[in-house]
């Protein structure tokens, strides 16, 4: 009788242990998933807010090959493009022209039409702004430290005409070099092309020594 009781108790305890193990594993799984999800949300929120803040870099003392008067810039650019490129402004996320553009082509500077970014380097960062893993050529995309709003950001601009483009952050895709160029659509003019051969030919022709 005592022997039977111990044997049944053993089975009950084993089942109880199994139940607790399954329950504990599920709690752990749920916690790690919610942690990953919330950290991802925070990351995107931080990225988005860092992009959303305008730049306070002063490029007025810098000299650029393409020079225009304030009046000429106003005539050439839309009000938004002027505000972003000449006054270091920023545009709204998601409602801008190129954040979701997946077409093949070249993103040229809106101020001087210098090719700055390629469609093959564009990725969806989830921030609502066009995001690139690299520029075409560092000779045409300048960087300047931006410490406004108590943040350490690197502002990027067209080195040919001084048009403010956006900022570069170090939280881009690791398999593409780890950088994220958060660029305003208003600073760009997209040139759609048929295929990558056409893209390559245009870029080589533009950057080849004249």
Residue with smaller CB distance to Zn ion, 85 or 119: 85
Q: Does 106 bind Zn ion (CB under 5 A)?
A: no
Let me know if 182 is a catalytic residue. yes
Q: Does 109 bind Zn ion (CB under 5 A)?
A: yes
Residue with smaller CB distance to Zn ion, 51 or 109: 109
Choose one: 31-39, 91-99, 104-112, 197-205; the region binding Zn ion (CB under 5 A): 104-112
Q: Does 112 bind Zn ion (CB under 5 A)?
A: yes
DSSP 113-147: --EEEEGGGEE--SSSS-EES--S-TTTEEEEEE-
How far apart are the C-alpha atoms of 104 and 196, rounded to whole Å? 7
Contacts of residue 165, Cβ cutoff 8 Å, sequence gap at least 6: 85, 109, 116, 141, 156, 157, 158, 181, 183, 184, 187, 188
Q: Does 158 bind Zn ion (CB under 5 A)?
A: yes
Residue with smaller CB distance to Zn ion, 68 or 92: 68
Site for Zn ion in 113-132 (CB under 5 A): 114
Residues 155/164, Cβ–Cβ less than 8 Å: yes
Backbone Cα Rg of the chain? 26
Q: Does 81 bind Zn ion (CB under 5 A)?
A: no
Give residues in contact with Zn ion (CB under 5 A).
109, 111-112, 114, 158, 160-161, 163
């Amino acid at each position: 009788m005592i022997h039977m009781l111990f044997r049944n108790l053993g089975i009950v305890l084993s089942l109880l242990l199994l139940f607790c193990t399954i329950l504990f594993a599920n709690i752990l799984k749920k916690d790690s998933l919610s942690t990953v999800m919330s950290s991802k949300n925070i990351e995107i929120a931080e990225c988005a807010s860092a992009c959303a803040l305008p730049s306070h870099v002063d490029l007025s003392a810098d000299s650029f090959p393409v020079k225009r008067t304030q009046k000429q810039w106003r005539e050439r650019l839309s009000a938004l493009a002027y505000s972003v490129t000449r006054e270091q402004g920023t545009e709204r996320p998601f409602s801008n022209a190129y954040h979701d553009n997946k077409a093949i082509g070249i993103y040229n500077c809106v101020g001087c039409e210098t090719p700055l970014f390629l469609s093959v380097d564009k990725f969806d960062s989830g921030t609502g702004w066009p995001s690139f893993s690299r520029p075409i050529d560092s000779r045409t995309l300048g960087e300047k430290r931006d410490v406004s709003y108590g943040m350490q950001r690197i502002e990027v601009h067209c080195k040919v005409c001084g048009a403010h483009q956006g900022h570069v952050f170090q939280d881009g895709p690791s398999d593409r070099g780890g950088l994220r160029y958060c660029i305003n659509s208003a600073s760009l003019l997209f040139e759609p092309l048929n295929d990558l051969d056409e893209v390559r030919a245009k870029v080589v022709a533009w950057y080849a020594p004249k």
